[in-house]
Amino acid sequence: MTRQPWRDRVIEEERLLAQLNQLASEAADRRAEALREGVKELGTVADVARALGRSWNAVDKALKKYDRKKAAAKDAPTTT
């Protein structure tokens, strides 16, 4: 079996990495939405963190990152 030229392999791996990054971003969004539901149900970020066995800081950071991402997307100019 002939090995692909290195340039082709690099291009293919970059495509795969972009696809993985997109999937990871979408998963992080869904996770943050679930965490937000947990806060609504349990009352506080600390309660959600305790229920999941995670640190308060980890849950808070995930929610803040998601909020910043949504705010940036909302404020982004459209290209028309």
DSSP string, 32-66: HHHHHHHHHHHSSHHHHHHHHT--HHHHHHHHHHH
pTM (2 d.p.): 0.80
Contact by Cβ (8 Å): 45, 54? no
Inform me whether the pLDDT recorded for 78 exceeds 80.
no
For residue 25, pLDDT beyond 80: yes
User: Domain limits of the chain?
Assistant: 29-73
Mean pLDDT of the region 8-36 = 98
pLDDT computed for residue 17 by the predictor: 98
Is 2's pLDDT higher than 90? no
Q: At what angle do helices 45-52 and 6-42 cross, to 10 degrees?
A: 110
The mean predicted confidence, pLDDT, of the chain is 94
Q: Report how far residue 35's alpha carbon sits from residue 29's, in angstroms, rounded to the nearest whole number.
A: 10
